[in-house]
Chains A and B, each alone.
Chain A
């Protein structure tokens, strides 16, 4: 009931401001009593009588006050709130201690919140649409375990048969050249999708309308929906954009809608057009990603078994075209796109931030313990006056909770900053649009939970420890409170060892990660990247339908580029150095004869003859491509040294023949013609991911395979920026709709490709620095406190003639023991843990000795410094002062 809730809230509030309410009620009773007395006097009583009678009639103020308190408040809440106020007062008094603890916790919790934000964004949040957990991606499962896209004909089949999905939609990612009379043509990532796609994910448009079934009928007027990015950059966010026309791949389309900000479904799209199934061939090509929304109340497993049933029927009906398919996969977007490679990374990040938090906790626990010595008398007094141990523990835990909450607030603030920096660092990445690193309510809940957990983690041990103290021990003590000092020293030493061990593990883990990322990041690709410029070239089928037209474009373009002053060489390729043009299965002529011949995946790159000149790489043997290479009858290839070594060890590959094949070639495809090796090139690393860098490469003449998606590679003598405009002019002189943008140096392209390594390397470096900082501060605090505590003892020793070195050694000894224990435990744990960090990426082994040695040295130096400074101070203590120290 509403009034019940209201009353409860009022009661809790009343417990908090009990003092004010007491005073208010006392005044009220006073006024009541005064009026009663007045009335009594009027009735003729003597003042004494009047007062006595009034008190009897009203009831005793003290007992009324007690009952009033019980009536208006909640007894336990009242107690806790009193404790809380006490805690806040104490923490405010111990300003420096509190600041140190809160800052430490803020760092720990902040790092944690950043880590969790990332993990949350990648693994849990999903698409930013209504009920995104009901959206599933459907794909074929191949015999090889890989997924396969779906053809339009199959989609129609699934649509007709499925009852578990409230609608199946599909998309196919691509990029479009867009142009109009307003601005320069540009190439943007875009998507073709079925008309029901946005309806299925429940993504409304910002302006205009969604696609309609009529839009996807063959022969209908072409329409497009644009993203907010294009809307702003090309139309200045003009609301009358609807109905305007835009050329997409050279074809006029009408803009019917605008999507809201940061909506780039399914990946990074800026523009969407309806998928219009064309002829028979397009219907059969498996180019679509199919997704759907589960009907309410349907379990995903139900959907999976239904789809598998439907899939089996299709496989049975079309055995020829489906022979490598075994079933259907039904997965969430997260599983589909993140599973695999990202997972260990994010889990590792989470592990690292938890280590940072544990180190922070160990630090604060130690601080609390040191402080508790000062409080021993207070606590002993409370116990002596009858407080139960539980009551004392509760009080101390509450203080921890206050610290943790304040630390959490600071942590949230740091997290906001950290997430922003991290988000900016991830900007040039290939992450899908729905992964956005923002602090959301889930993160808040996580931070709140973390606060409670840390409060218990760092607060419980010291609280139990202190509260155990027998009261009589301390009250007798003189004030410096050496309560059970042996036990306490053990505890404190234990925390230092734990902290050291945690730091070593974290540093070792981060170190190995950072080293491997650096190794990958700095990998040499075999060319001088600073003087190479590249630009994507997209020759859309609507304008360049035939191989001849594409070849003609390129043949026209190359001499024009080469004529630009400052340009030394220009070529067209499907794989600029650092990237490749696709993997294919290769077999050599000799191997075909042998049974069980090995066919191996190699990188293939299509190039025009001046590619090697532009890249600045020499041919090791044989000749370069000529203009006639690639013409029918002149099928030739150039291979790289690695391929030569792999397939033709100890022989001359020139003149030998190879061809490409497929594991299970589709019926229609003719067998690839034999291609003759005419040259061997020096090594350039190609590969779409760095894992493939070591691959063997086959170069194919562009004349033979004029790809519609390729890149320009231009070598300049001048700074690349100065020739960009000329390149733009030459390209558009041939085709005005051809976008020329994102002309970048190869160095820029590569750093974009390697954001992953750079970013994670940076993240781990940041965690490592925070951890090192926290534990150095912690060690220093504990060590110097230990010295302060022993001031008297040191004074006595010095007074009776101890040498400074001897005293220093006394202090150092304990630090060294802790260091040895911490290092031993930490290194052992680190060896075990980093073994699990094998991310399959590196030359750097998980037990990289260099990293381990560096970390052991670093931790030793920091610890020794933390011991030496207090030790030196100890020897300077004036014995007289020390002896007086109380």
Chain B
């Protein structure tokens, strides 16, 4: 995987994790990984463990918080929850994403028409 590709992936993954936590509330890493696999419908094929690199990054930025707790089956697991700063970031990123994808979309449409 080249660096550029991973950078894009990183940003996308961050956004997906934030969105997931925002929508679903506190979850453990396994749960987040399953949810993202399910949403991306295999478009993003990554090892589940990779999710933890994203999680530690978000924790260090202060966008999500982690806490040990008990899972549904009463197993010890670390739960992640989005923070206030994380919500703000999610909102900003969402707006940014929509703007950019809007622009790209129009551009592509234009290109198709003239082509």
Contacts and interface: CB of A to CB of B under 8 A. Distances in A.
Interface of A: 3-4, 6-7, 10-11, 14, 24-25, 27-29, 31-32, 34-36, 38, 57-59, 61, 64, 67-68, 71-72
B85 interface: yes
Contacts of B29: 28, 32
Nearest to B31: A35
B54 to A, nearest CB: 9
Interface string B30-63: 1001000000000000011110110011011111
Contacts of B50: 59, 64
B60 A31 contact: no
9 contacts: A3-B61, A3-B89, A6-B61, A7-B62, A25-B52, A31-B77, A35-B30, A35-B73, A68-B52
A594 B52 CA distance: 104
Interface of A (DSSP majority class): helix
Contact of A35 (B62, B75, B85): B75
A376 B37 CA distance: 56
Contact of A64 (B49, B59, B73): B49
A10 B49 contact: no
B53 to A, nearest CB: 5
Contact of B76 (A4, A27, A71, A72): A27
A34 B76 CA distance: 10
A136 to B, nearest CB: 49
B78 interface: yes
Contact of A14 (B28, B60, B71): B60
Contacts of B57: 7, 71-72
Nearest to B77: A31
Contact of A59 (B48, B56, B62): B48
A57 B52 contact: no
B71 A6 contact: no
Contacts of B63: 3
Contact of A6 (B30, B62, B73): B62
Given A3-B61, A59-B47, A35 B52 contact: no
A863 to B, nearest CB: 58
Contacts of A3: 61-63, 85, 89
A36 B48 contact: yes
Contacts of B48: 32, 36, 57-59
A326 B53 CA distance: 76
Contacts of A61: 49
A58 B61 contact: no
Contact of B53 (A27, A57, A71): A71
B100 to A, nearest CB: 19
Nearest to B49: A59
Nearest to B56: A72
A304 B57 CA distance: 59
Interface string B63-92: 100000001010111100000010001000
B49 A31 contact: no
B56 A71 contact: yes
A10 B60 CA distance: 6
B53 A32 contact: no
Contacts of B33: 32
Contacts of A4: 61
A68 to B, nearest CB: 6
Contact of B75 (A6, A7, A34, A67): A34
A10 B48 CA distance: 24
A32 B80 CA distance: 13
Given A25-B56, A29-B49, A61-B49, 16 more contacts: A3-B89, A7-B57, A7-B60, A10-B59, A10-B61, A28-B78, A31-B71, A32-B28, A32-B48, A35-B71, A57-B47, A58-B48, A64-B49, A68-B56, A71-B53, A72-B57
A351 to B, nearest CB: 49
Contacts of A58: 47-49
Contact of B60 (A25, A34, A72): A72
A269 to B, nearest CB: 54
Contacts of A64: 47, 49-50, 52-53
B1 to A, nearest CB: 12
Contacts of B30: 31-32, 35-36
Q: Which 6 A-B pairs have the closest CB atoms?
A: A59-B47, A59-B49, A10-B60, A64-B49, A3-B61, A7-B60
A32 B75 contact: no
A6 B33 CA distance: 26
B65 to A, nearest CB: 12
A38 B71 CA distance: 13
A68 B77 contact: no
A28 B28 CA distance: 9
A231 B26 CA distance: 64
Contacts of B59: 10
Contacts of B49: 29, 32, 58-59, 61, 64
A64 B62 CA distance: 22
A27 B52 CA distance: 12
A59 B29 CA distance: 14
A31 B75 contact: yes
B31 to A, nearest CB: 8
Contacts of B85: 3
Which of B30, B62, B63 has most A Cβ within 10 Å? B30
Contacts of A71: 53, 56-57
A67 B47 contact: no
B73 A31 contact: no
B68 to A, nearest CB: 8
B73 A29 contact: no
Given A6-B60, A57-B47, A31 B52 contact: no
A68 B55 CA distance: 10
B76 A31 contact: yes
A849 to B, nearest CB: 70
Contacts of A7: 57, 60-62
A10 B59 CA distance: 9
A836 B71 CA distance: 80
Nearest to B59: A10
Contacts of B52: 25, 28-29, 64, 68
Given A31-B77, A31-B78, A68 B60 contact: no
A72 B60 CA distance: 8
Nearest to A21: B56
Contacts of A57: 47-48
A336 B85 CA distance: 56
Contacts of B60: 6-7, 10-11, 14, 72
A361 B98 CA distance: 64
A7 B61 CA distance: 5
A35 B77 contact: yes
A325 to B, nearest CB: 67
Contacts of A28: 29, 52, 77-78
Given A36-B48, A38-B73, A67 B53 contact: yes
A68 B53 contact: yes
A59 B53 CA distance: 12
Nearest to B88: A3
A112 to B, nearest CB: 40
Nearest to A63: B49
A319 B11 CA distance: 81
Contacts of B56: 25, 68, 71-72
A3 B73 CA distance: 35
B32 to A, nearest CB: 10
A383 to B, nearest CB: 35
Task: Give the interface centre of B48, B60, B63 by most chain A CB atoms within 10 Å.
Answer: B60
Nearest to A30: B76
A24 B77 CA distance: 11
Given A3-B89, A68-B53, A31 B28 contact: yes
Contacts of B28: 31-32, 35
A27 B77 CA distance: 8
B73 to A, nearest CB: 7
A67 B51 CA distance: 11
B18 to A, nearest CB: 13
Contacts of B73: 35, 38
A827 to B, nearest CB: 62
